[in-house]
Amino acid sequence: MPQRVIDAVSDYLKRDNANTGGAYATSRHTDAMIAGARSAMADFLACDPDEVVFGPNMTSLTFAISRSIGRELGPGDEIVLTHLDHDANVSPWRAFEERGVTIRMAEIHEDDCTLDMDDLARNITDRTKLVAVGYASNAVGTINDVKRIIDLAHQRGAMAYIDAVHYAPHGPIDVRALDCDFLVCSTYKFFGPHMGVLYGKRKHLQRLEPYKVRANSNAIPNRWEWGTLNHECIAGITACVDYLADLGRHVNSSASTRRAAVLAAYDAIHKHEHGLMESLMSGLLAIPRVKLYGICDPKRFDQRCPTIAARITGHTPLELATQLGERGFFTWDGNYYALNLTERLDVEKDGGFLRIGLAHYNAPEEVDRFVAALGEIVD
């Protein structure tokens, strides 16, 4: 986490730390800070500030929106999900099976862990009310063609709900260009506090009925935010967007707006991360008995982000992650809540994957040391 984010959280607690809507200075400061954070996320997502909703995390926001959408669903209605997604974009929608809603699951190509777009298109019908899909897989790194998926949903009159949690640290998001109905992300993934952020088209945020206390405003986006928000973490959201913008200005001094600077940052991040990913993939494939999941062809790396799932015969993912951790390398083992995928690929029963992730702050030397360390462990 950048120091400026830590400072923003700390400074808010020291200086303001008041609830909203009060007739005194620290409360007015909080109101202004939240408005500033909405503007920052509006620049990050390419939307308007009143289309930005804050919440404790992506999962909670998705359950909240799904409950409201569910008010309008019943027998005969359908929702399309995928086998590639984090369960936070699966379980909230599957809950409506109890109300007679049909859940359809789009298939994947197991050889490269990509969505079967033909099967997905077949599953979207005139009865489909919503298509929920991830921008990128948090388990195997696949970047989905969300623009095409959104278009397919809209052609049948369905809404599109996009989970961009895993994509957000690696690529720019433009909700207007995508034309998605909802998109959710988590600021801790792009170097901010542990908070969730939801974009919703204004017409949906105004029309859908949230579950809320009576005293809460009916104005958007506040009608979707219940109770006292995590103000100190919201203070850190502006700082994390500004961190990315300053990174963009460092590589492109001509970026004249915060949005332009964020786009410049992601251009640099993409180039740096993909260079590291090519080196990491090459090194991993040279290790005996390794199996990598997802897109492995360098010519198709633009279809994936630098998150790599691996298994090595003779070693469980937990064993590998533990020994790597003892050497100072932090990797994940298990399913990372992408439970449908680990079950589908038949790895859930014996530990899931070893997940190796790269970010813009990693260096080529770290990749070399990691590959050498993993080679020693499995030798």
- Residue 216 in this model has a pLDDT that exceeds 90: no
**Count of beta carbons in the 10 Å neighbourhood of residue 47:** 21
Per-residue pLDDT tens digits for 184-202: 999 999 999 999 999 999 9
Which is nearest to 335 in space by CA: 293, 273, 300? 293
User: What pLDDT digit, counting tens, does each position of 87-114 carry?
Assistant: 999 999 999 999 999 999 999 999 999 9
pTM of the complete model: 0.96
For range 47-65, the mean pLDDT: 97
Q: What digits encode the pLDDT tens for the residues 359-369?
A: 999 999 999 99
Residue 227 has pLDDT above 90, yes or no: no
Q: Is the pLDDT of residue 12 over 90?
A: yes
Residue 265 confidence (pLDDT) above 90: yes
Q: Which two tokens stand for residue 44?
A: 């990050």
Is the pLDDT reported for residue 14 higher than 90? yes
pLDDT in the model for residue 100? 97
* In 47-140, beta strands by DSSP E: 52-55, 78-82, 102-106, 108-109, 114-115, 128-134
In this predicted structure, the answer to whether residue 73 has a pLDDT above a threshold of 90 is yes
In the predicted structure, residue 356 carries a pLDDT above the cut 90: yes
Tens of pLDDT, residue by residue over 125-156, are: 999 999 999 999 999 999 999 999 999 999 99
The most distant pair of C-alpha atoms in the chain lies apart, rounded to whole Å, by 67
Q: What is the pLDDT of residue 215?
A: 86
The reported pLDDT for the residue numbered 226 is: 84
Q: What integer best gives the mean pLDDT of the chain? A: 96
**Structure confidence at residue 240 as a pLDDT band (50, 70, 90):** very high
Supply the DSSP string of 165-225, one letter for each residue: TTTTTTS---HHHHT-SEEEEEGGGGTS-S-EEEEE-HHHHHHS-----TTS-SSTTGGG-
Share of the chain above pLDDT 90, in %: 97
